[in-house]
Amino acid sequence: MTRRAFPALDWFRLLAAVLVVAIHTGPLGSFSPAADLWLTRILARVAVPYFAMVSGYFLARGHWQGTGRLWRHTLLLYAASVLLYLPLNIYAGNPITWRGLLFNGTFYHLWYLPALLLALPIARLLAKAGRTGWAVAGLLYFIGLGGDSYYGLAGQLPGLGALYEVVFTFWNYTRNGLFFLPLFLLLGAAFAARPAPEVRQNARLTLAGLGAMTAEGLALHAAGIPRHDSLYLFLPLTMWGLFGLLLAVNGGQDRAVRRTATLVYILHPLCIVAVRVMARFLGLRWLLVDNSTVHFAVVVPLSVALAYLVQALPRRRRAVLPPDARAWREIDLAALRRNTALLRDALPASCALMAVVKADAYGHGAVPVARTLQREGICHFAVACLAEGIQLRRAGIRGSILILGWTDPALAPLIHRWRLCATVADADHGRALSARGVPVRVHLAVDTGMHRLGIPAEEISTLAELFTLPNLRVEGVYSHLCTSDGASEADRAFAQKQTETFVRTLTLLRGMGLDPGLTHLQASYGILNLGCTAGHTFGAARPGLVLYGVYSDKTPVDHPLPLRPVLSLRARVAAVHRVPAGEGAGYGLVFTARRDTCLAVLAIGYADGLPRNYGAQGGVVLLHGARCPVVGRVCMDQMLVDATDLPIPPKAGECATLIGTDGSGTLRAEEVAVACGTITNELLSRLGPRLGLVVQNP
């Protein structure tokens, strides 16, 4: 049974932002100071560490390559926030000082942004240092702890007391980018390299940590020890359990909620001021301000509404041609999500999906497909060439992107710049990549019998040499099955031989003390016909065509899945002609009407990916849900369809279906491919760039 995707990480961002609002409004203060202390000074202290852990997690999944981009984004957000709150600072008589600008933020909630700007490079350096980095992060947090919740004790020690006096000349608190955030960035990053967390274990850990932190916080406040209360001894333990719990139930992303959470965090002080002004104007201070619960209940929805309003501000729009104006592809993302879940269920839990999105995701649109898969938790992608990888990075796709084809070693700086993984096509190619002097992440292709790309499996010493070359960072080893789509015993035997050869190669490499990293062998038909490849499980599988709900042809497979086609291909009727019996039509007058004929001209042709002889090979399209034959030669931009037998003649502007469902009629891509004399892979991947793209169920 497939679990419904729930973007828990993004939704908790919004809850964390609401907890920050609670810190600044004290929702329970009017009724129970003790309860409000627990809510705002203990429970709500998970909010900011959570923000840092999410950042650390996603940075580590991209091998910290996105640190600079996040740093620049944070800097721009901070600059905009400084300008936004400048009028309030001027009105309140609070001049902006270098100390406030660089260390504490220019408004009380903005401290997190300069803290993150400082913490990001520190955390990246600590992450590279391994265990030493963790020890340093822990020590920094421990020092910060003494300047925060334990200041009444640690501040009395001569050495530490003097240290804190120096710290407080720069920062108002040890809740900053030096002592506080680096540890939580590393804690989040640690989850990127761990197996999928377990729900119950992390739920218990969260409750235990929160209980311990509650006891700790209440005891410290009762004794009057804290100088501030952002750092607790049990806070890291609580956050470890909480983040693991959320990650265990997380499925996909919700960018709108994520943006809303950020805006609520930034904008809520404006809403607090607005509510206070409104209360004074209406004479309702006793209700809207003095009653802290009502105050909180008004500020939160106002902040959320303002966040949505900011996102909905009208933007300058360019005139855009409708994607379905002529001929187009319709992409059903719900079907893509369902197919992804089916493939995950068909593979062992330890085997990740590496989504193959080459050739514009087999004609489906690489960017919307990859974004959808990324929201479903897919973090490995494969493309054919460097340009395809750069396209995905420009579109904001994170995780690992492997180039399956050959890449010119001269382009190594671009591979590094866009954080891509290159395939080492052979030994000389690997040496040439290394010689460019630029760090390059690579997967080694092993030739197990296909004789296309790869180092021959028997050349173990050559493979081992590639692990030692400077500038090559070997992150994976893979091969490709060349007969897994065949139905004969010989085909299956050869696929099994390739599998055993690949396993033997991996075993020899590991025996030499070399880590092959992510191993992968199965593509679509390796999953459908070979299952777990005779008991062998690899780190990932590379589904391509089956992700999109189709097979290469009509040949049965050993392990069929109830896949749903993702793509439909449609075109407009451009014109309708009456052709008398005996007259010809189209190039070469190849078609001759045997009766008075109704010809519909469709606005799609061989420049869009269909073969010129589609009509001669028995091609059909759906009009009004009925099958109509393609006649004559397909032109570059049009094709002719015999619509004589339709009860109601078609009209210009109506829709014809070349792949997909129309009413009670269905044309599967496999059937069309057979009529075109090819396989579905080729048919879909050559669908031309002129075709529009209509995305359904985003």
How many Å apart are CA 537 and CA 435, to the nearest integer?
Answer: 34
Contacts of 622 (CB under 8 A, 6+ apart): 628, 656, 657, 658, 660, 661, 662, 663, 665, 666, 667
Mapped onto helix, strand or coil, the DSSP state of residue 117 is helix
The separation between the first and the last C-alpha atoms of the chain, rounded to the nearest angstrom, is 22
Q: How long a stretch of residues is the chain?
A: 698
Count of other CB atoms within 10 angstroms of residue 631: 23
From the number of C-beta atoms within 10 Å of its C-beta (0-12, 13-18, 19+), residue 282 rates as: exposed
Partners of 302 in the beta sheet? none
Query: Catalytic site residue 554?
Result: no
Give the residue carrying structure tokens 């499980």. 537
Question: How far is the C-alpha of 524 from the C-alpha of 356, rounded, in Å?
Answer: 10
Strand partners, 660: 667
- Report CA-CA distances (Å) from 13 to 51, 211, 259: 7, 22, 9
**By the 8 A CB rule, do 372 and 364 touch?**
no
Asked if 441 and 471 count as a contact pair (C-beta separation under 8 A), the reply is no
Instruction: Please state the φ and ψ torsions of residue 453, each to the nearest 5 degrees.
Output: -100, 150
d(CA 580, CA 614): 23
Cα dist. 651→322, 569, 573, 667 in Å? Answer: 20, 19, 7, 21
Radius of gyration of the chain (CA): 31
85 is catalytic: no
Name 667's Cβ contacts closer than 8 Å, sequence gap at least 6: 620, 621, 622, 627, 657, 658, 659, 660, 661
**Residues pairing with 598 in the sheet:** 578
Of the listed 358, 478, 525, 606, which one is catalytic? 358
Pairing type for strands 472-478 and 455-456 reads unpaired
> CB-based contacts of 613: which residues, under 8 Å, 6+ apart?
633, 634
Long-range contacts for 310-317 (Cβ within 8 Å, ≥24 apart)? Answer: 310/263, 310/267, 311/256, 311/259, 311/260, 311/263
Decide: 600 and 629 in contact? Cβ < 8 Å. no
Q: Which of 108, 128, 497, 587 is catalytic?
A: 587
Handedness of CA 352, 357, 363, 369 (dihedral sign): positive
Q: Which of 23, 16, 14, 11 minimizes the C-alpha distance to 296? A: 23
For tokens 């590991």, what's the residue? 510
What is the distance between the alpha carbons of residues 530 and 453, in angstroms, rounded to a whole number? 22
How far apart (Å, rounded) are the C-alpha atoms in residues 305 and 299? 10
Determine the Cα–Cα distance for residues 605 and 359; give it in Å rounded to an integer. 19
Three-state helix/strand/coil letters over 216-272: HHHHHHHHCCCCCCCCCCCHHHHHHHHHHHHHHHCCCCCHHHHHHHHHHHHHHHHHH
Q: What is the DSSP letter of 102?
A: I
Quote the strand ranges of 125-180, DSSP E. Answer: none
Which residues have a catalytic role annotated? 358, 587
